[in-house]
Amino acid sequence: MARAAGRTRHGDILSASQQLRRLVDQGEIRDLVHRYCHAADQQDHEQLSTLFTADGALSFERSPLATPPSSSPLPPSAFVTYRGRADLRSMPRSPLPRGLHVTTNTVITFDGQDDATGLSYFVRLLTDDDGYRIGNAGLYRDRYRRTPAGWFIYQRTIHSLPPGGLPLELFAPSN
């Protein structure tokens, strides 16, 4: 069910100044989502790490391209997780050609004043001698946290689009 403008996820009415603050926060978070894509496109892990909280984490499904971080053992799951800025900086460079990440349909839900969740679709375009092709597509499930320095990604989980599509439960709002 869609939430009425000017209301929290619990139905509380926001004042005009709270609504304005919420719009500014949404813009800052969307900018964060876009800056992540620019850093990923440039394989600039130093810059990418600055977009996460100090204890932030990036998780994605294991693949032949995904290797575990050196500072932590692999969990017995289908995901590789890099936790903390040092792990994020040490991620291996992708052997794939550089590409362009495109994010769309970002929905941000606030959980109080300093926490939010987000869901975005992404497509990664690659180029070769034959032109452009889709290298990957899927969705980002994010948790954001505001600190005195601004908004940061606390947790990003990347779900790649498999043949047949993603399970519907991945599209449900986070609680």
Domains and CATH numbers, the chain: 16-53+95-168 (3.10.450.50)
Kindly report the pTM of this predicted structure: 0.81
Kindly tell me if the per-residue pLDDT of 11 is higher than 80. Answer: no
The per-residue pLDDT for range 120-159, each reduced to its tens digit, is: 999 999 887 888 888 888 999 999 999 999 999 999 999 8
pLDDT of residue 90: 92
Of the two residues 2 and 112, the one the predictor is more confident about is 112
How many residues in the chain?
A: 175
pLDDT of residue 74: 45
pLDDT of residue 173: 67
pLDDT of residue 10: 61
Give long-range contacts, CB 8 A cutoff, 24+ apart: 148-154: 150/28, 151/25, 151/28, 151/29, 151/32, 151/116, 152/32, 152/51, 152/52, 152/53, 152/56, 153/32, 153/36, 153/51, 153/52, 153/53, 153/56, 153/58, 154/52, 154/53, 154/55, 154/56, 154/57, 154/115
DSSP-derived letter for residue 138 is: E
In angstroms, the CA 174 to CA 141 distance is 9
The per-residue pLDDT for range 76-107, each reduced to its tens digit, is: 457 889 999 999 999 887 766 678 999 999 99
In angstroms, the CA 110 to CA 169 distance is 20
Strands (E), the chain: 52-61, 79-83, 99-110, 115-128, 131-147, 150-160
Phi then psi for residue 51, to 5 deg, are -85, -10
The per-residue pLDDT for range 22-52, each reduced to its tens digit, is: 999 999 999 999 999 999 999 899 999 999 9
pLDDT of residue 130: 82
pLDDT of residue 92: 84
